[in-house]
Structure 1
Amino acid sequence: MSPVFVAPETGWPLHHAAASRAAEAAALAGTPPHTLMRRAGLGVARLALALAPHARSVAVLAGPGNNGGDGLVAACHLHAAGKAVRVVLAGDVARLPADAADALTAARAAGVPIAEALDEDPADLVVDALLGLGTRRAPEGRIAAAIAWAAARRTPVLAVDLPSGLHPDTGQPLGEACIRADATLALLKLKPGLFTGQGRDHAGQIWFDDLGVAAGGETARLAGAPAGKVRCHAQHKGSFGDVAVVGGAPGMAGAAWLAARAALAAGAGRVYCCPLDAGALLLDPARPELMGRTAWWRSPAATLAAATVVAGCGGGQAVREALPALLAHAGRLVLDADALNVLAADPSLQRLLARRSRPTVLTPHPLEAARLLATTPAEVQADRLGAAQRLADRLGCVVVLKGSGSVVAAPGAPPSLNPTGNALLATAGTGDVLAGWLGGLWSAGGEAFATAAAAVWQHGHAADRALAAGAGGPLRAADLVDALHAAA
C-alpha cells in the first residue's frame, strides 16, 4: 500500500516495540529477502515526493541498522526521480545488517552519492533514517551529531518509522538528542510513542505504511471519533439522566459550575451543582437551567444511586466529607481533581473505592496520578501508558490520564490513546470541563471505558477546531463548553 495519513477520526491499532518486533520477524520469515525494506524505502520516497514536491535536494541521514537501509532504498528512488540526493552514512559499513548492506550496494550502483561526514551543503528536505525501533539508549557519537546537524538546518524533516531518539512505547526522548520531525512515516505497525508524551511534538504529521502486512493483535488502540447519538422524538429529559456535580470549595466554586455547564451541554437531562462552599450562590446567572443544591450528597442512597456524580472539581479538602457517601452509593462516579488528592491521602477512602460495585472513572493529571501511585510526576510521564494501566488495575477503575496523548485505561484491557487536542487546552478549568462533559455523556447510559474515550476525543477535537479556526491564545474553559456543544 501507499502511505496513508493517520487521521484522528479513524481508530487505529497500536503495537508496542516488542509486538512490533515480533510482527517484523514473522513478516520477514514469510517474504523473500529484502522485500520489506524495498517496500519501506519506496513508501518513504513516495511520501517525500508528496510532502515536498518542489524540493530539489534531499539529504538522507542513514544509521547503522535496517532503518538506515530503508533510507538508502528511498534515496535510490528519489535519485531516480531526479532529485539531488546525498546520503550521510552514520554507521560502520562492515557491520550493516544483510538487508541494509544490500540497499547500500544498490544505492552505490545507482550512483547515489554516499559520504560518512556531515557537510554544510543546503538541502530542501532531510530524511531521518538514523535509528529505528530497536534503539534503547540515548543517541551518541555520529548519530547524535547527525541529529544536531538536522536541527541546525531548520529544513523540513521526514522521519522513517520513528523520530530518531524517541522511545517507541513511551513517547519520551531517550536523551537530549532527538529528532523533531515535520512528518513521520510509521512502518509495519503504529507505535504508541508517536501519540503520547512528547511524541506528537517530535513526530509531526503522522503517516503509516503497513508494508502489506496484516495488523495482528494490538497492544493499545488509537481512539477514533465516537459515533453520534440520535435522539428519538419520544424521549424526554428523564431519558438522559441526572448529573450532580459536587465540588467548589471556598474560592473555587467556579470549577463546579464549569463542570455543571459542561454536563448540561453534553446532554444530561438535569444537572445539579452542589457547591461545597456554604456561602456560595446556588445559581449560575448565565445558565439558569442549572439547579443549585446544598449538601446534595446527604440525599437518600436511592437518590445517589440514580445519578451520575462528578466529584472533586475545585473541591479542596472540603470534598472529604462528601466522598464516603458518594463512594458507597453513587450510581456512576467521576472522580476528578481534589477528590483524587483526598483519595490518595486516605487509605480508608481507597478501601471504600475498592468495595464499589458500580462503575467509576478517575481523571487525573500526571501530578494527581503520581500521588495515587506514590511516585513522582516524572515517573508517570516516563511511561504514561504503563502508569495509567497500573492505576486502573490497582483501583479497579477506568482511568483517564490527561496530557498530550491522553490515556484511557481499564483493568485487564488494552489502553486507548487519544489523538486529539492541543496546547489551547493548557488553561485553568479545562479539566473541570472534561469531567463534567464525561458525566453528561455518561448520564444517559453506556459503558464507562467507551464513554471516557469518547469524552476525551471530543474534548480535544473541540480544541483542534478552535485552532483550525485561528484561535491564537488559550481556550478559556467557559468558551470550551460552548465549543464542545457546537462540535458535538
Structure 2
Amino acid sequence: MDPDSDYDAERQGTVASHFRAWHVELEPFPGLAHDTRMKVCTIHEMHAIEARALSEIGLAPTVLRETAALAACRVLRNDPHFPTSAPVIVVCGPGPNGTTGLAVARQLHANGRAVKVVLICPVNGESDEQRDAFDVAVRCGVPCSKLTHADDFGRELASSAIVVDALLGPEPDVSTPIARAIDRIGDAELPVLSLDIPSGVCGDTGRVAGSAIRARATLAFGLPLRGNLIPPGAGQGGRLYVTHMSLPPHVLDREDIHVELVRPDALPPRLTHGHKGTFGDTLFIAGAGTYYGAPGLAAMASLRSGAGYARLACPASMIPTLAAFAPEVVFVPQRETEDATLALDNAPALISLANQVGFVVIGPGISLHADTQALVRDILVRITQPVLLDGDGLSAIADHPDVLRRRQAPTVLTPHPGEMARLLGTITSGVLEDPIESARRAANLLQSIVVLKGSHSVVALPSGHVTINTSGNDGMGTAGSGDVLTGTIAAMSGLGLSPPCAVRTGVFLHGLAGDVAMRDL
C-alpha cells in the first residue's frame, strides 16, 4: 500500500502476479507491485537524490516537505492502527524531521483534526527554517509549545491518542531531553507514526542508539533507508509506507544505488506435456548418521516447490529410515566412514552423477568429519553444474576460499550470521552490525551468490548488487528452516530461472510460505 497510489496488484493470472499480490498485502512497498524494483538507500544517497531534485528539476525542500506531510496525513487517515477522529500530538525535535512534523500538524489542523505540537530542543536550538515553520503553525492556529526538557511532556501526552514521531532523522543524536521524550512516548503506549525512520534508529545500519521509538507505522521519504529494513531497526518501525514526495521515477531509480527490495521473478510456464525430467533434476549430497532431518527436508522441499526430480546421495545406512519420510526421493547409497558420514572415496561417482543433473546441493547435515569435509572440497572444483553450498558444506571451504574461486559454474552460499563470520574471518556481531556490506564482501571475496539468512535475508551477487527480502516471520526461526530454503532455491533453478533469479525468488517464496502458514494458524 503506497500512500501516493491506490494501485492494487492484479490477483489473477500468472504465478508471479499472485506472489506480488501477496507481498503487497503483507509488506506495502509499491515497487513490488509494479514492474520496477524499489531501491533501498543510505543517508548519503538520499541526500544526493534531494540535491539532484533541487539542482536539475527545481524541486525545493519545502515542496518535498509539504508532499511528505500530506502523505503522513493519508497514513493517519487510512491505517487501521490510528483511530480517524482521535487527537494527535506531533512531537518534534530540532532538526529537519521536526520541521516536517510542523508541516504535518498544520495539514492535520487544516483538515479539522485535533492536533497539537510539542517541540523539544535547547533554547535557540532550532534552525531559522524551523523557527519560521513553528511561527507559521502558530499563526495557523495549531496549539504549539516548546520544551527544553521532557519533564512536563507526560501531561501533553495524557490528552492525546496518537503520536507523530518527528524527533530525530536518520542520523540519531540522542541527547538527554530527546531520550527522555522517547522513553515517555514508550511509557504512554500510544500508537506512533514515525516520519522517515523511528527516532533513535540509524538510517544506514538499523542500529538502535540507546532509546528508540517503537512505531505502529513508519513513513519513509523518497525511498526506504537501509535502517528501515535491517534488524534491529526494522523491528522498531511497524508497517512501512513509502512516499515519493513528488520526486519523479528517474530521480529515485538511480543506477548507482545497488541495494533494492527482493521482487520475485516470473516463473516460466509449466508445459502441459511436461514430465518429471522437464521440471528440474537436483542432486542433494547430504546427511550423516546423526543428521537425518536436514537431507530429507531439503530434498522434499524441492519437490513440494515444483521440482520434478530429487536425488539424495547419503550414507547407505540412513536410507531405510529416510525412505519412509521421503518416498518420492530417489536415493543414491554411498559408502560411509566409521562414523556413518560420507566417505572420501565416493568422490569419482558423485562427480560423475553431479555433472549429469541440472543443479547440485551440498551440505545439509553432512557433518564435520575430516574425510567428509575433504570430499566436499574435492568434488566442488570438479562439478561443472551450479552448486548450492549450505550448512556443514560451508565449513569445508571456510579456510579454503580458493576452492570456490576455481569453480567455473555459479555457486550459491546460504550462511547464517555465524557461518558468515567464519567465511569472512570475523565475529558474528561484526556481521550483524552491517549485514548488507558483510554479504556484499563475501560475494566478492568468494565469487559466489550469497544469501545471508536472517529475519530480512540479504542476497548479494559478485557484481555488488544486493537485494533485501521482506517476506517471512519469526516463526521460521527453527531448525530445518534453512534446509527447506535450499530445496526451494533448487526447485526454482529446475523450473528454468537463472541462478540469481532462482535465489531471489526462492528466498521470497520460502518466506511467503511462512507468512501464509502464520496467517492460516
TM-score by length of 1: 0.90
**1:89 to 1:320, Cα distance in 2 relative to 1, 3 A:** same
Instruction: State the shift of 1:188 in Å.
Output: 1.6
1:151 is displaced (CA, Å) by 0.7
Shift of 1:257: 0.7
Separation (CA, whole Å) in 2 of partners of 1:91 and 1:369: 42
Mapped pair 1:259 → 2:287: no
User: Does residue 499 of structure 2 align to residue 448 of structure 1?
Assistant: yes
Residues 210-254 of structure 1 deviation map (CA, whole Å, 9 limit, x = unaligned): 111121313311012332332113332222332111121221121
Alignment RMSD (CA, Å): 2.1
Deviation at 1:448, TM superposition (A): 1.6
- Residue of structure 1 equivalent to 2:18: none
Aligned amino acid, residue 109 of structure 1:
R
CA 446–287 in structure 1, closer or farther in 2 if over 3 Å, else same? same
Q: Can you list the C-alpha shifts for 1:260-293, whole angstroms capped at 9, x where unaligned?
A: 1011222333211122474553742243121111
Aligned residues: 464
Match of 1:477 in 2: none
For 2:337, the equivalent position in structure 1 comes to none
Given the alignment, which residue of 60, 76, 85 partners 2:90?
A: 60
Distance 2:219 2:65 in 1: 14
Shift of 1:43: 1.7
Distance in 2 between residues matched to 1:253 and 1:432, nearest whole Å: 12
Match of 1:457 among 508, 513, 517: 508
Q: Cα offset for 1:166?
A: 1.2
Contact 1:185 1:207 in 2 (8 A): yes
What is the match of residue 162 of structure 2? 125
Corresponding residue of 1:343: 397
Structure 2 residue aligned with 1:39: 67
User: Which of 110, 131, 142 lines up with 1:80 in the alignment?
Assistant: 110
2:14 aligned partner: none
Q: Distance in 1 between matches of 2:505 and 2:229?
A: 17
Match of 1:219 among 238, 251, 258: 258
2:29 aligns with 6
Distance 2:61 2:226 in 1: 28
Could you tell me how far 1:329 is from its partner in structure 2?
2.6
Deviation at 1:360, TM superposition (A): 0.4
Task: State the AA in 2 paired with 1:239.
Answer: T
> 5+ unaligned residues in a row in structure 2: which ranges?
6-27, 335-345
Contact 1:366 1:377 in 2 (8 A): yes
For residue 240 of structure 2, give the secondary structure of its aligned residue in structure 1. strand
SS in 1 for 2:278: helix
Q: Equivalent residue for 1:402?
A: 453
Paired position in structure 2 for 1:206: 240
Give the letter aligned to residue 333 of structure 1.
V
Does structure 2 conserve the Cα–Cα contact (< 8 Å) formed by 1:8 and 1:225?
no
How many angstroms does 1:383 deviate by? 0.4
Matched residue SS, 2:388 = strand
Contact 1:197 1:384 in 2 (8 A): no
Give the secondary structure class of the aligned counterpart of 1:172: coil
State the match for 1:23 in structure 2. 49
Find the residue that maps to 2:312 and give its secondary structure.
strand
CA gap of 1:97–1:151, structure 2 versus 1, over 3 A, is same
- Which secondary structure state, in structure 2, belongs to the residue aligned with residue 167 of structure 1? coil
Instruction: State the distance in 2 between where 1:384 and 1:169 align.
Output: 11
User: Could you say which residue in structure 2 is the equivalent of 1:160?
Assistant: 195
Contact 2:264 2:504 in 1 (8 A): no
Specify the alignment match of 2:226 in structure 1.
192
Aligned to 1:238: 277
Which stretch of structure 1 is more off in the superposition, 296-305 or 213-222?
296-305
Q: 1:93 deviation in Å?
A: 6.3
Does residue 498 of structure 2 align to residue 438 of structure 1?
Answer: no
> Structure 1: how far apart are the matches of 2:315 and 2:134?
69
Distance 2:508 2:141 in 1: 48
Is the CA contact 2:268–2:496 (under 8 Å) kept in the aligned structure 1? no
Percent of pairs identical after alignment? 34
Residues of 1 paired with 2:131 and 2:462: CA distance? 45
CA distance in 2, matches of 1:417, 1:336: 19
Find the residue that maps to 1:421 and give its secondary structure. coil
Residue pair 2:411, 2:449 contacting (<8 A) in 1 also: yes
Deviation at 1:34, TM superposition (A): 1.8
Measured in 2, the distance between the counterparts of 1:373 and 1:189 equals 30
Aligned 8 A contact 2:439 2:450 in 1: yes
Does the 8 A contact of 2:286 with 2:295 survive in 1?
A: yes
Q: Which residue of 1 aligns with 2:25?
A: none
The residue type equivalent to 2:263 in the other structure is G
Go from structure 1 to structure 2 and tell me whether the alpha carbon gap of 1:81 and 1:325 turns closer, same or farther (over 3 Å shift): same
Match of 1:333 in 2: 387
Change (3 A) 1:253 1:352: same
Secondary structure in 2 aligned to 1:294? strand
Give the whole-Å Cα distance in 1 for the aligned partners of 2:296 and 2:347. Answer: 16
1:302 Cα offset (Å): 4.3
Q: Counterpart of 1:394 in 2: which secondary structure?
A: helix
- Cα distance in structure 2, aligned partners of 1:366 and 1:300: 30
Please say if 1:140 is aligned against 2:140. Answer: no
Matching residue's letter, 1:235: G
Does 2:428 match 1:428?
A: no
- Separation in structure 2 between the aligned mates of residue 223 and residue 216 of structure 1, nearest angstrom: 15
How far 1:165 moved relative to its partner? Answer: 1.2
Mapped contact 2:92–2:165 kept (Cα < 8 A): yes
- TM-score, L = length of structure 2: 0.84
One-letter amino acid of the counterpart of residue 216, structure 1: D
Structure 1 residue 81: Cα displacement: 2.6
CA change 1:342–1:32 in 2 (3 A) is: closer
Q: Give 2:514's aligned amino acid.
A: A
**Structure 1 residue 256 displacement after superposition:** 0.5
1:273 aligns with 2:312: yes
Change (3 A) 1:98 1:24: farther
8 Å contact kept, 2:267–2:495: no
Is 1:352 paired with 2:375? Answer: no
Q: Note the C-alpha offset of 1:86.
A: 1.9
| Secondary structure of the structure 2 residue equivalent to 1:293 | strand
Cα-to-partner distance string for 1:65-118 (whole Å, 9 max, x where unaligned): 110011111111122233332212122463433443332121111122222141
TM-aligned CA distance change 1:231 to 1:445, over 3 Å? closer
CA contact (8 A) 1:268 1:443 kept: yes
Distance between the aligned counterparts of 1:334 and 1:276, measured in 2?
20
Amino acid of the residue matched to residue 129 of structure 1?
Answer: A
Q: 1:353 to 1:81 in 2, by over 3 A?
A: same
2:119 to 82, 89, 96: 89
Deviation at 1:187, TM superposition (A): 0.7
- SS state at 1:240 partner: coil
Q: Tell me the amino acid that sits aligned with residue 161 of structure 1.
A: D
Q: Does the 8 A contact of 1:282 with 1:293 survive in 2? A: no
Q: 3-state DSSP class of the match of 1:284?
A: helix
Residue number in structure 1 paired with 2:332: 293
